[in-house]
């Protein structure tokens, strides 16, 4: 997008994602996103623990994984860079966290310069549980998480690891559950977690037209007549999920070759 300020660092990027640009302009936020190689694409540990169950593991069935959406489906160098970054994370987590702290500090200064509020999505193409087992140091002080280290920053992510929403998350970390009908046990667990905790649920519909029709229909229905008994909102107007009302379905539509061709149940017809 010409004229859009861009923030680049070794770990996070801002100003390149069309959906976050729309949200940023409307709400005066800038969202920096970390893009890693999902599942086991980089080798080693699985960075998307529920990808197989949810039908979106790119190393298994090439379902609706976002790794093949946007510019990544055109430029293979983008995914090579993501793999390299992921390998740094896997090789030395403490060093990677130190790098991330430096980049978030730089991003905060960049936001101040441009008169916007900072927001960060660490799982652009991964599903790491950043709220646990990821301590970091900032200005000589030890913190249990990157969110605790930067209370002035709004962090948010989508997740398929439904147990995460049962935790006492940092007050500046918003999680949205990601639905998939590829596995009934998984689908039931996500719906149950949403019901138990009030967490919002992102659902990917087959087309924009289908999503829009369901959004419009839900405005005139109540209770069980709605999709999963919840109102459906247009999740593509903005990516700032922490500003959504609680207890809704965040309606998205399939983008990228893999998602559009998905038949696993991850994309809803």
Tell me the C-alpha distance between 22 and 34, whole Å: 18
Note whether residue 263 is domain-resident: yes
- Phi and psi, residue 157, nearest 5°: -155, 160
The mean per-residue pLDDT over the stretch 124-145 comes to: 97
Note whether residue 36 is domain-resident: yes
Contact of 30 with 111, CB cutoff 8 Å = yes
Residues 6+ apart with CB under 8 A from 25: none
Note whether residue 33 is domain-resident: yes
**pLDDT of 210:** 95
Q: pLDDT tens digit string along 55-110?
A: 676 665 545 565 555 444 444 788 889 999 999 999 999 999 999 999 999 999 99
Note whether residue 250 is domain-resident: yes
Domain residues for the domain of 52 are 7-268
Note whether residue 1 is domain-resident: no
Q: At CA 161, angle to CA 197 and CA 52, rounded to 5?
A: 140
Q: pLDDT tens digit string along 15-66?
A: 855 566 666 666 689 999 999 998 788 888 888 988 878 767 666 554 556 5
Q: pLDDT tens digit string along 199-256?
A: 999 999 999 999 999 999 988 888 777 889 999 999 999 999 999 999 999 999 988 7
pTM: 0.89
**pLDDT of 3:** 62
The DSSP line for 65-124 is -GGGSGGGGT-HHHHHHHHHHHHHHHH-HHHHHHHHHHHHHHHHHHHHHHT-EEEEES-S
Residues 6+ apart with CB under 8 A from 118: 29, 30, 32, 104, 107, 108, 111, 152, 153, 154
**pLDDT of 71:** 47
Note whether residue 2 is domain-resident: no
Min mean pLDDT across 75-89, 143-157, 184-198 is at 75-89
Cα–chain center distance at 90: 20
Number of domains forming the structure of the chain: 1
Note whether residue 85 is domain-resident: yes
């Amino acid at each position: 997008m010409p004229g859009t300020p861009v923030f680049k660092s070794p770990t996070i990027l801002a100003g390149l994602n069309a959906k976050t640009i729309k949200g940023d302009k409307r709400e005066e936020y800038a969202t920096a996103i970390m893009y890693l190689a999902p599942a086991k694409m980089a080798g080693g540990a699985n960075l998307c623990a529920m990808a197989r169950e949810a039908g979106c593991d790119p190393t298994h069935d090439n379902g609706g994984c976002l790794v093949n959406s946007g510019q990544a489906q055109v430029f293979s160098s983008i995914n090579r860079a993501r793999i390299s970054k992921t390998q740094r994370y896997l090789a030395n987590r403490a060093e990677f966290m130190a790098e991330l702290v430096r980049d978030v500090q730089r991003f905060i200064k960049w936001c101040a310069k441009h008169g916007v509020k900072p927001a960060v999505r660490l799982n652009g193409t991964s599903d790491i549980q950043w709220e646990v087992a990821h301590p970091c140091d900032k200005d000589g002080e030890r913190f249990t998480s990157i969110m605790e280290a930067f209370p002035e920053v709004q962090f948010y992510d989508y997740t398929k690891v439904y147990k995460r929403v049962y935790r006492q998350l940092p007050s500046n970390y918003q999680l949205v559950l990601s639905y998939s009908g590829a596995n009934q046990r998984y689908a039931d667990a996500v719906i149950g977690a949403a019901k138990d905790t009030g967490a919002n649920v992102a659902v990917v519909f087959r087309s924009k037209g289908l999503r829009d029709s369901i959004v419009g229909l839900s405005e005139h229905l109540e209770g069980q007549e709605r999709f999963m008994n919840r109102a459906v909102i247009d999740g593509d107007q903005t990516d700032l999920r922490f500003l959504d009302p609680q207890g809704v379905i965040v309606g998205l539509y399939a983008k990228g070759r893999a998602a559009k061709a998905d038949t696993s149940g991850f994309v809803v017809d």
